[in-house]
Every structure is written in structure tokens, then in C-alpha cells.
Structure 1
């Protein structure tokens, strides 16, 4: 928590910061081996406002936020807080200066409780110097009451959903009583209802003169919550405008340097015979009686609120967490889907929801990540990988998806979250699947790359690939699906054809 002297200084200077902003960035430059991440960028955030930072993956947004949060140090430029130049040498240093950050990739400790995660290094002590767990739980309850978050302080973080973990991250950042709060893709795992809850929290923070830097790829969020926005492109500053003065197309042109005319390039293509049939699939205590068919060339969208168990069904189909009972048939033949190897042998590929926990090998390089699925099925002769062929295929796919990296030997953990997602998509597309399961395929992906990925998905369907696409983004489900399967609390609540589907009908089924 910030010191009393710092808090007093913040209060004295807040009213004097409107001219320069509570946070001012000038001429910041940051280089990593082989790439200039930021080149002479600037940013100004006024107290009591939300300033959105926009740009494609690799534009430098997260790098700048990590500099402001003390994770990285800039190679050049100046940071001013409340009008005074500062050097932020570490995250703790930034917190002392009143800067807190909610990272895009969640950084909670799963083996600890909710309360322990929020108050780590700041735990209340009793007269013997021991942690006062009862008081810490009460402090957490008070914080949650203020934010209208309904979680048990004693819950272990490993037992929470991704959305609940996100709310814990938000509560922890707010608990520092900082004057600047950085939110990096805070709604990526939240439902519409939870997003509105977050926006209520943000409006309360604004009323207390807190300046918020908000990174998002979602245009509707910018217009709903942001007062101003700044656009970066390829590590360079492009411009700053009031949100009320521009249109969605204006922002996209600033971000990508070109027009994107069709966000959902869905084309009608022949839909063939049933390739996948699921009959009364059950997993004890998770989902029950899941039945559906998927045809060649069809994109079956799967919609539902958090807790609908969509991802659990996908994991069962791919053998990650096999079902307890029921049937999975491929080309009319029953398959015991007991492992991912079995699924891949039958032509399935699975892009998981959480790229950090179950997708990328963060310590390996890009090439190793892309080729990891490919070399288990092909391009191996006499026990040796056909490295030249695999490398050419990986380079071509990375170029098609516009993965921003100095080269394919760059360690994946050094890439932005969106570029990590593109690598995962590249991995599975190279296996040439017959059935492609996509769980949140464009989460954390910029607007330009989304259109390209949507075009790839449509192209695969046109080639006869059957696509099962789980998405929390309603426009994506409506824009890309031939049919939509809606789930609610572990069961299928209904199906909608493309022609009849709309947001209201989907929500009615999702809330049953």
C-alpha cells in the first residue's frame, strides 16, 4: 500500500495536474534484442478519466504499461507523475508512487486463498507479529462489499473460474488506493453482465479522481467507458482524440493503416455429411446429456454464459478430460476419446481457451511452439524431424497470421498475448485438421488479425473442415456461425439457425 506521505502528496497535487495530466509520458523508447518495441511514444492521462490505449498486437501497448508499472525501464524518454519526473525501478516502486496494474495474463498464486492474494506483503499482524487471518478476511469482505464482488475470502484461487480470478485481480489493484490504475484487457474473460459490473467499478473510481489507462481490442468498450484514446502502431505514436469525436472506422484506420471492410467474412459454402456426432455425453458433476451433430464445411458456434461448461465439453471431445458416459462418433464410427493423441489420430485439433496455462510452451521459441503438434503426426522420417520442411511451413503460416516477432527463434514469453494466440492457431492449422475445435479463437487478438482469422476459419470451412467455435463475443458467434448451439449450466438449452439467430434469442436460451 502507498505510504501516508505519498498519499498526502497525491491529494495535494491532484487539483494541479489537469494541465500536464496525472500521468505524462514523453519520448519513451524501448528496445529488445532484434526489435524496437517503442519509438518516441507519448501519452497523457488526466485525473478522473479513462484513457484507452489502442493498437494491434505488437504495437507496444503492453510494453509501455509495463514501463509505467516499473516492470521494464525505458531506454530513453521521461515519465512524469503529478507533474514531477520520476524513475520507476520496480513494480513496488511504482506502487509506492501510486501506480497499480492489472496484467492481461493473470498473476495470482493458485495455492493461496483469495484474501492472501489480495494482501500479500501487506498482511495485518496481531500483537505477536503473526498474520491476523480473521482481520485479513474482514478487510477482504469490506473491499468486496465496496466493489460488489461476491466471493469467499477463504476460497483457494485454484478453485475459481477465469472470470472470478479476473475480479480478484481487479480488487487487488483497487486495494492499493492508487491514483493511476492500468487495466490490460480486463474484460477478456468476463460475460456481458460482469463487464457492466466492472464498468460500474470504473465509474466509481473516476468519481474519486483516479486516472485509468485502459487497454482493449473491443471497440464497443472504448465508446462506452473511455473519455479519450491514444493509438499506437508498430511501436510509434499515431494520435490522441476524444472518444466522442471519432467513429469506429476512424479508429480502425488509425490502428491498422488501412480499411477493414468486412469484419466477419462469412461466405455460404456447401455443407456436407455429418462427420462428428455426439450422443448423450456426460461428465459427472460437470455437464450432462450433450447431443449434437457437426457437418463437413459447417461452423457450429457455441454460446453461453460463464459456467455453462462449454470449454469442458470441448476438452471431453479432444480427450483432455474424457467424458463419463455417452458416445462420440466420427464418420459414423464410435470412438473412445481417451486422450489428445486419439483425437489427433482421428483428425481433431483443439485451440484451448487459456493460452498461458494450457496452450503455449512459454519457455520455448516460436518455431518449437508451432511445430509441436505437426511433428507428432507427420514430417518425421527414421526418427528425425524434416526440419527444413517444417521450418518453411511454420514461417509461411506465421507470415499469413502476421505474427510480430524478430524471427521464429524468439522465446514465446517475450511476445504479446495476441501474438502468442496467433502462434497457437498456426500450430493447429498446420496439422490440417478435419475437425477444428476453437475455444475463444480471437481472445486478445487485435481487430486486423481478427478479420484475418475469421477469413481463415471461413476458408477452412469452404475446404470441408468442420469447425466447432466457442466464443463469448456475440458478434463473432452471430457473424461466423451456420448454426448456434447455446448452453446453460452444463446442458444444451437450444439450437438456432443462422437466419433466425439474434442476440436476444441467444441470451434467452443462455439464461434458462
Structure 2
């Protein structure tokens, strides 16, 4: 570490290179971050965003280059040095401790920084409660004692996301990195977060906001930084770029914003849901799904849309009502029941509910098909398993050196395609896609949307559960809007604008 130098910036990244085996992840990236500004870091998965974040936050060292924090030069930062300097990161996996209370999680960073990376045996409970209340209320969460005492593992994913952001506020950070912070938030919570970002900016905090949702970036304002293949492609005020320009900078190709959905759907009904009910979550839900149709389901977080998806997949089954598949009433009480009836389910939280991250691509693909891949001795037929995995990789355009690579080595978009491929292996009649492009870059979204359309054209009935309005409008035939556990309205997607659907969601909230 050298002596401080005069600098108008809080942080400068100077000529950073980072290499992994066979991959040059960052190629001489140089950036400067002013105090009290918001920067949007954009790029496809695999472009170097995560590596850059880890270097700034002290999780990884650069191979070349330096970091200049408030004028002080560093060849690298450790995680504790970054925290002590006021650099706080809200990672996509949130990094919360599920068996600790909300208040303890909120105070975690400041405790680590104050005690040289070690947690004290006991907390000053009164001080902790005051700090937690202020930070929680800043992100729109209750600051009362009951909520503070709640274990994090008991909270829904969206609330945990806000707790992680409250932790950054509690630590009085000077530089906050938010990695996909709105992944699980409803529009109301996103609007609240935008207000929080305004407060941080007003207090001189610099924010590096990593997102794939361009509409949110425009709503927040500030500067945009685009990475592609480990290099900085552009930086400047976000208002100077159109969505099309940013998409092309990120991917190197032109992406359309037109509807992917084409043609008419047949009249054969593959699924009928009648009066489906689960107490406290949804009630009297009825709809039909035709073969080859893409049916969107949306609504706010408490609308019951997520719970409906889990019920149809047998994860948290309905208590009453009827599910009719190809004209025959079926019982779906467990995920095994759903699989037996050829109903596939791609969950919203692919990391915790869907994938075996440390296992090879092959093992993840064949999971739903293991019983049918066994030979007469009960052993898995390796040749057939390999063939199925390779076919999935080819059909879904999964970028990987081989099927033996662990899924955790893939980008988010490729991980999602592995999960989709698992359920395609059962030759589904119905495929439920729950937030299929959450945390996925624009290039991978385009690939997933085209795969979705191809599957529908093959006759599979698809239910798309999403709060991404452009995604619904571009891909669906019909859209169901849920409110307080019931279907409130049905729309034809090709006769609906984003403004119409957004207004319906807001009026639902009111």
C-alpha cells in the first residue's frame, strides 16, 4: 500500500486483468467511480461482471492492475480491508445466515468490521435493535421487535433480499455493490428500492447496480458501464443509450423487442384446472391450457401466483379442486406424481430448489429420468445417459466444454437451460416455467424465449409464471392476472400493452 494521492473519486479500477484456466475473464478494465453516483454494470453472463465485483469486494485478487480507494493504492484488497474501507456487497445469493435473526444479520457486517473479522460472543442488543430498526425501515420493512427476532430462514425470498440490502445500509457503507437486487422483488418493492437508492445517493454513497432489467436501470438513472468478453465496451449517462444500443453493446448482435409468439393455437385442451384451492394461499382457481399454448400467470407477490405454480407441480399441493390432464382427472400430491403425469416444473430459485451445483451437467440432466436409464442390473446405462446429456446440450445451446463439467461452472443462462433440459427429458405434456429468465442476461433470454416457442410449436402446453411484463407480452398467447389468491382477469397478450398490464398491477395493489 502506498501513500494517499489526491483523487476526486471514491474508487478507481486501473488496468485490471484476471485469468482463470483457459479464460481471460478481465482484460485491462479501467473504471472510476465518483462519490454519490449510481452506476449500472451491464453485460451478458460470462462477460466478467462477477469477477470484477469479487475483485472490488476483496473476494479475489487481480492478476494485474490496482485498486485505488479514496486515493490509496492497493495491489489487491482482502474482504476485511474492503469492509473497513466502506465497500459492502449484496450478492445474488444474499450471503445471509438463515439460523440467525433478522437483526443479527443486519448487524453482521459492522460487527465483522469492528472486531477484525470475528463475531463477538454477545451483541449489544439495544444498540443492535436501534441500528436494525433504522436500516429495516429504510428499505420498507418493519423495524419492530417481533420482526427483528424472526429467523431469516422463515422469511420469503423477496423479504430476505431486502434484509440483505438493509445490512448494507446499517454498515454505513460508502460504496455499495448490488448484484441483481431486484430478482425476487415485486414492482411495489422495486419502486421502494429505487427510493432507497435515491437516499443513498443523497448521502454521498456510491452504488454499483448489477442488473439485467434495463427498465429498472432507466428508472434509477445514473451512468451505465457495459462489459463484453472481459472488456469495457462503453460508459456514460444511461440516457445517452437506447435499449437496443445497450443490448447490442452487451451481445455484439442486434436483438429484437418484437413478439416472439406467432401463429394460432389449436383447440385441443391439454390441461383443465377447476376450483383449485389451498387455504391462505389461493382459492377457486380455474383455467384451461391448450396444447401448444403459452399461458402467462402474473400478479403481485401475495397474489398466489407462486403458490399456484408449486401446487401444480406437487411441491405444495392444493387441498381441493380438480386437475384434468388430456381429459382425465389426475391427483398431484407430490413432485413424483407430477413427473409421472408428464408435468415438468422449472422452479424460480434454480440454485436452491432446482440444480445440484457441484454435480456434472450429465447428472443434473438425467435426474428426472434415472429409473428409465437403469439396465437389468439396476445400474445407470452410462452410454444412454451421456447421449441424453449431449443431446440436451446441443438442443438447448448450452455453452460448455463437456457434460462432465459441474453446473456451478456455467453462467446463469446456461444453468437455466440445463434445468429446462432435465424436464424436457420426460417428454412433458405440460411444462411450468417459474421465472425462467430470473438473473439471466439479454442474450440468454433471447435463446430461452426461442426455445420456449419451439417447445410450444411441438405441442407442449406451457405455463409461464412471471412478473417480467415484457417477457409475458412477447411470449404468451393469454395472460392470467391473479389478485389475493384468485384469478382477477384474463387478457389476450397480442391485444395488450405493457402500460395496460402495468396499470392493472398497480390498480390491483391499490
1:503 equivalent in alignment to 2:501 = yes
- Structure 1 residues 481 and 493: alpha-carbon distance in aligned structure 2, compared to 1, 3 A threshold: same
Of residues 311, 316, 320 in structure 1, which corresponds to 2:311?
A: 316
Pairing partner for 2:175 from 162, 180, 184: 180
Quote the offset at 1:500 in angstroms. Answer: 4.1
- Number of the residue aligned with 2:444: 449
Q: 1:510 to 1:476 in 2, by over 3 A?
A: farther
CA 1:122–1:83: 2 relative to 1, 3 Å = closer
- The farther-off stretch of 174-183 and 437-446 is 174-183
C-alpha deviation, 1:96, in angstroms: 0.8
Whether the aligned pair in 2 keeps the contact of 1:30 and 1:75 (CA below 8 Å) is yes
Check if 1:26 corresponds to 2:14.
Answer: yes
C-alpha distance 414-375 of structure 1, shift in aligned 2 (>3 A)? same
Q: 3-state DSSP class of the match of 1:140?
A: helix
Task: Answer yes or no: is the 8 Å Cα contact 1:182–1:213 preserved in 2.
Answer: yes
CA RMSD in angstroms comes to 2.4
Q: Secondary structure at the match of 1:22?
A: strand
Distance 1:92 1:406, change over 3 A: farther
Aligned residues of 2:62 and 2:76 also touching (Cα < 8 A):
no
Contact preservation (8 Å) 1:269, 1:297: no
Q: Which runs of 5+ in 2 are unaligned?
A: none
Q: Is the 8 A contact 2:294 2:478 kept in 1?
A: yes
1:62 aligns to what? 50
TM-score (norm 2): 0.90
CA separation in 2, counterparts of 1:220 and 1:372?
Answer: 37
- Partner residue of 2:482? 487
1:291 aligns with 2:263: no
Whole-Å separation in 1 of the counterparts to 2:186 and 2:354? 22
SS of the residue corresponding to residue 74 of structure 1 reads coil
User: Out of 103, 117, 131, which is 2:123 matched to?
Assistant: 131
Q: Equivalent of 2:97, from 93, 109, 121?
A: 109
Q: Counterparts of 1:451 and 1:379 in 2: how far apart (Å)?
A: 32
Query: Does the aligned pair in 1 maintain the 2:83–2:109 contact within 8 Å?
Result: no
The 3-state SS of whatever aligns with 1:381 is: coil
| 1:162–1:130 CA distance, 2 compared to 1 (3 A) | closer
Q: What corresponds to 1:302 in structure 2?
A: 297
Choose the corresponding residue for 1:420, options 410, 415, 418.
Answer: 415
Aligned mates of 1:59, 1:505 — CA distance in 2: 35
Conserved in 1, the CA contact under 8 Å of 2:108 and 2:167? no
Q: 1:489 to 1:159 in 2, by over 3 A?
A: farther
Match of 2:36 among 20, 38, 48: 48
**1:479–1:179 Cα change, 3 Å:** same
Structure 2 SS opposite 1:364: coil
Quick one: distance in 1 between partners of 2:418 and 2:412? 10
Question: Within 2, Cα distance between the matches of 1:25 and 1:290?
Answer: 53
TM-aligned CA deviation for residue 422 of structure 1: 2.8
Task: Tell me which residue corresponds to 1:167.
Answer: 162
Q: Which residue of 2 aligns with 1:8?
A: none
| Secondary structure class of the residue paired with 2:188 | helix
Does 2:220 correspond to 1:230?
no
- 1:141-160 correspondence to structure 2 within 5 Å: 141-150=133-142, 152-160=147-155
| 1:82 paired to 2:88 | no
Greater CA deviation, 46-55 or 221-230? 221-230
Q: Deviations over 1:98-130 (max 9, x none)?
A: 1100101222122221101111375699xx984
Map of 1:305-454 to 2, 5 A cutoff? 305-376=300-371, 378-382=372-376, 383-454=378-449
Label 1:402 to 1:173 Cα distance change in 2 as closer, same or farther (>3 A).
farther
Q: Contact (CA 8 Å) 1:263, 1:451: kept in 2 or not?
A: no
1:254, distance to aligned residue in structure 2 (A): 1.0
Count of aligned pairs: 494
Aligned to 2:62, the other structure's residue is in SS state: coil
Is the CA contact (8 Å cut-off) linking 1:262 and 1:451 kept in structure 2?
no
- Distance apart, 1:179 and its partner CA: 1.4
Q: Tell me the SS of whatever aligns to 2:389.
A: helix
> Structure 1 residues 138, 505: closer, same or farther in 2, change over 3 A?
closer
Give the CA deviation at 1:349: 0.5
Query: For the residues of structure 2 that align with 1:130 and 1:62, how far apart are their CA atoms?
Result: 34
With normalisation by structure 1, the TM-score equals: 0.90
| 2:80 match | 92
- Mapped contact 2:356–2:407 kept (Cα < 8 A): yes
